Amino acid sequence: MKKTSVLDLLRQSAEHFLSGEDMASQLGVSRSAVWNQIHDLQKLGYRIEARTHAGYRLLGVPDKLFADEMAWELGTRVLGRRIFSYEDIESTNDAVFRLGEQRAPEGVTVFAEHQNKGRGRLGRRWHCPRGKGILFSYLLRPSLSPSQIPQVTLVTALSVVRAIRAECGLECGIKWPNDIVYEERKLCGILTEMSAEQDRVNFVVVGIGLNVNGIPAQVPDGPASLKGILKREISRVTLAKTLLRHIDRDYLAWKAQDGVDFVEEWERASVTTGRRVTARTNERVIQGQATGIDRDGALWIRTDSGLQERILAGDVDHVR
Ligand code: BTN
């Protein structure tokens, strides 16, 4: 079990002052050790008021994705069981992949304020200004076949839509297979990778990059951010915890029901269904009308010659 810290005591006592002496005796450490911890917390951006003869109280927490902050009253079952957070990292997906290879348990989650080599799908780069986005990856160990993995991306995309709705009151859509968009502009991307054998998945890494408080250039159809849309700063800590809770709940529900009940929800959230699309798979380019998503997470396209095509993986452009 995690040892209680000065920060835990300050959180628990909410607006009441706690004396250094009380904290020291509760934690079994010296008063100067308590003072050092308070000082370290202040350096990290925690606002702690010190009042003579009364003690200390917590006035505010920094909007940083610290592991300790994310874990506080998180209440998830799988996600965030163990949380790591970095100021700088190459890519949170790479970090979680390595943890997967080292047999880390399902649910381990890595956050970063900045990535030096953030990766997107299909070998693209993923850029996000330091401290402005929510960038994280987590490890799953489902007993699935590789062909079921596209569903994991769609379940996650739905959770992101739900979390943004719950926290920001904004209705976003899923652009098949892995983008969260608002009025055609991309807010969030999901990168799902796996270690697998022919018919068995060893582990899955899901990485999420959400543009929160950065203001991307106002390029038509270019990326968007929540702040750019809502014209206000969003608490990244609060939103990140809401994301973890939704992903955790939806992932467990999906695993328990074998995916069946999610089809209707994917369809409702999909902004691709009904659109004219150009889809690129490894082998070919397909043009036509997107007609729906099936229970495997595959996209159906009616081509101009009237053929029904089904693609499980690929990249899609909405044609105007
Ligand atoms: C895409 O839209 O192509 C997917 C983008 C995924 C970006 C996230 S940011 C956190 C995680 N780490 C990475 O290197 N990539 C994913």
Per-residue pLDDT, 286:
96
Quick one: which atom of ligand 1 is closest to the CA of 119?
14
Q: What is the largest CA-CA distance in the chain?
A: 82
What percentage of the chain carries pLDDT values higher than 90?
88
Ligand 1 mean position, distance from CA 191 (Å): 5
Does residue 205 register a pLDDT over 80? yes
Per-residue pLDDT, 219:
74
Ligand 1 in contact with 131 (CB < 6 A)? no
Neighbours of 204 (CB within 10 A): 25
- In this prediction, residue 221 has a pLDDT band, given cuts at 50, 70 and 90, of confident
Per-residue pLDDT, 260:
60
Ligand 1 mean position, distance from CA 181 (Å): 15
| 110 to 65, 205, 291: CA distances (angstroms) | 10, 11, 36
What is the tens place of the pLDDT at every residue in 132-144?
999 999 999 999 8
Ligand 1 in contact with 41 (CB < 6 A)? no
Per-residue pLDDT, 172:
98
Contacts of residue 290, defined as CB under 8 A and 6 or more positions apart, other chains included, come to 176, 272, 273, 274, 275, 276, 277, 299, 300, 301, 316
Ligand 1 mean position, distance from CA 131 (Å): 15
Per-residue pLDDT, 258:
60
Does residue 215 register a pLDDT over 90? no
Ligand 1 mean position, distance from CA 93 (Å): 7
Ligand 1 in contact with 223 (CB < 6 A)? no
Quick one: which atom of ligand 1 is closest to the CA of 178?
2
Ligand 1 mean position, distance from CA 189 (Å): 6
What is the tens place of the pLDDT at every residue in 78-121?
999 999 999 999 999 999 999 999 999 999 999 999 999 999 99
Does residue 1 register a pLDDT over 80? no
Per-residue pLDDT, 3:
72
Per-residue pLDDT, 40:
95
Tokens of 233: 């700063």
Ligand 1 in contact with 189 (CB < 6 A)? yes
What is the tens place of the pLDDT at every residue in 25-80?
999 999 999 999 999 999 999 999 999 999 999 999 999 999 999 999 999 999 99
Does residue 259 register a pLDDT over 60? no
What is the tens place of the pLDDT at every residue in 265-299?
999 999 999 999 999 998 899 999 999 999 999 99
Neighbours of 45 (CB within 10 A): 12
Ligand 1 mean position, distance from CA 7 (Å): 32
Mean pLDDT rounded to a whole number for the chain: 94
Contact 152, 247 (CB under 8 A): no
Ligand 1 in contact with 120 (CB < 6 A)? yes
